[in-house]
Structure 1
């Protein structure tokens, strides 16, 4: 799957490429001597394939992703009731870097494939079947922009002119014709919510839940604080209660190391990552045994920060000829600002052995990783 830009999933053609793309093939791991023997062209090709592979290591089936997917299947499948009943919505509310967007897209891909496998690529009326519609919001999005974005997903010719209500009606026609069952609204925190339009937005989502044959899945940061799940508005009126009562809030948590089970989960994800690294000197235990505490401090248990650090570390290790991940290599790699700012306290606690990411009974190299997907 190559050439996907940041706008691809906002269009149905791009969504299809995402859903139908074959799984990437992991490049073979060559020894230093084998790499040295490659001619210039073969070496350039090998390095390119490794760059692309390490930049796209996920998603991993972490406990957080597995739990979220189980909850989503419960809610989406229970919404298969008749059209006269409003469908429950989902709000995935989590801090950045915990993988909520990646997890939602992975679920939506599975859902899309299941629906097409069960019902075929076309509806009984002959329209293209699009089980999923994804809308990604941008800064300070209003209702008209939101409705237009829904319509643009289908490449509808009527996006150039119209009112918010007209865009919504056209989008409804598309979703009914294409048998859309899942409407994903990503980055919902960009929607103007607490301003005077809060009630209008709440009513609009209620309209979608009532009239559109879809399960609404919101994903964003601080949704509860922004009033999405409130019982009352800022003036104390219970105008938001219906949206709050119909919306199930789901979250995602960072990795923790406060219990033996949490430490096992952390080790399992490191072992799963190890299996995916294509470096000449990669070996079992390189991350899970040698760098467990270090990686926890550098990522603060956030899967997004961890994968960013691993990806950049692999790029540097391959480019410089280190061909392994160790503290020397990773010390030279910059991570996201939030992780770097939060690591100092963890570093001190781990160094002083007040906390640890490893269980005393943990076995050494070669233990299988249950979280690889």
Structure 2
């Protein structure tokens, strides 16, 4: 990832769905038009990004925290930490939010050309308000510097003190106001170099804060980890936790059904023989059992089930239709555990048998 790629992604548009064709209209189309419509629909629906109730709440909090940071005086500002289990979609979430914030800040133009600005008299530079890097396993300070410099198009060779000075300089030169560090759970603090990296992140936050910028740290299972236990980090840390949908509480069930209803609003116009409420009401519990409330698996499940039903000229959406869709290994394993737990017999009779025998 570099600044130009980030710029193109932020200003670009994703694949668009075709206009919905009612079943009767589709059946009357010429064969070639049917094939074109089906190919476009079957390729775009499973990759659909649908607004999530939980994600939208997290986005609102993230935007509010950033706005507060923007109004603080120069200096070390609050660090925003985004924590989530694996596969919840934390990177997708933060990229989607950051791209939207990027579009709000940068005037739309040619998607392939970075905007420019004048950081000081008679100096023109690319304007790069956001930097996004990903930590690798056992990352060291020189690796972080290399990632930032590569994103901004600079050479990364040299001693750490040299590249550190270069990083601080280019952050100012290019007007960076947001530094996103993804996969910070890769940071290992069990050795001295790991501790040095943690200290370096705090240094970067201070330097970025002097420019009026904010640092966002994104990772998996950060709660209870070294990053969230460091007193200097936690003293300035604002946490955002992402999670899959749960259905153990009334509020959780409402959120889950509201999300499924939004999915129906997007999907069902393409499958007009399927009644509204089939997922959000009739099959809501079964859909959760299959996906455990993970957004990506849920979109995949519903889209693939609807496409298969349409392809087979079937009107009804049933549990069997949903069960026929293969999901991720994570979802399959979790579903098997749920089924096994539900089918487990009571141990009472075994204990009674032992008592009688004694």
- TM-score bracket, normalised by the shorter chain, equals 0.7 to 0.9
The aligned counterpart of 2:141 is 143
Unaligned regions of 5+ residues in structure 2, if any?
109-113, 345-358
Report the alpha carbon displacement of residue 86 of structure 1 after superposing the two structures with TM: 0.4
Structure 1 residues 111 and 42, CA, compared in 2 at 3 Å: closer, same or farther? same
Question: For the Cα contact (< 8 Å) 2:50–2:263, is it kept in 1?
Answer: no
In structure 1, C-alpha distance between the alignment counterparts of 2:282 and 2:341, rounded to whole Å: 17
Structure 1 residues 210 and 97, CA, compared in 2 at 3 Å: closer, same or farther? same
In structure 1, C-alpha distance between the alignment counterparts of 2:135 and 2:222, rounded to whole Å: 14
1:66-100 deviations in Å (ceiling 9; x for gaps):
222222123212222333x2011111111123232
Question: For the Cα contact (< 8 Å) 1:299–1:305, is it kept in 2?
Answer: yes
2:116 match: secondary structure: coil
TM-score normalised by the chain length of structure 2: 0.81
The aligned counterpart of 2:221 is 222
The aligned counterpart of 1:289 is 281
In structure 2, C-alpha distance between the alignment counterparts of 1:351 and 1:283, rounded to whole Å: 31
The aligned counterpart of 1:368 is none
1:275 and 2:265 aligned: yes
Higher Rg of the two aligned structures: 2
Unaligned regions of 5+ residues in structure 1, if any?
1-9, 231-239, 353-373
The aligned counterpart of 2:151 is 153
Structure 1 residues 269 and 286, CA, compared in 2 at 3 Å: closer, same or farther? same
Question: For the Cα contact (< 8 Å) 2:135–2:184, is it kept in 1?
Answer: yes
RMSD: 2.9
Q: Find the partner of 1:254 among 227, 244, 268.
A: 244
TM-score normalised by the chain length of structure 1: 0.78
Q: Find the partner of 1:78 among 68, 71, 76.
A: 68
Structure 1 residues 111 and 51, CA, compared in 2 at 3 Å: closer, same or farther? same
1:171 and 2:170 aligned: no
Question: For the Cα contact (< 8 Å) 1:88–1:215, is it kept in 2?
Answer: yes
Report the alpha carbon displacement of residue 204 of structure 1 after superposing the two structures with TM: 0.4
The aligned counterpart of 1:304 is 296
In structure 2, C-alpha distance between the alignment counterparts of 1:39 and 1:225, rounded to whole Å: 60
2:215 match: secondary structure: strand
| Higher mean C-alpha displacement, 190-199 vs 262-271 | 190-199
Aligned length: 329
Question: For the Cα contact (< 8 Å) 2:246–2:253, is it kept in 1?
Answer: yes
Report the alpha carbon displacement of residue 271 of structure 1 after superposing the two structures with TM: 0.9
In structure 2, C-alpha distance between the alignment counterparts of 1:133 and 1:323, rounded to whole Å: 48
- In terms of fraction of residues, the more helix-rich structure is 2
In structure 2, C-alpha distance between the alignment counterparts of 1:138 and 1:282, rounded to whole Å: 46
1:6-155 matches, within 5 Å, as 10-22=1-13, 24-62=15-53, 64-80=54-70, 81-83=72-74, 85-117=75-107, 121-125=115-119, 126-155=124-153
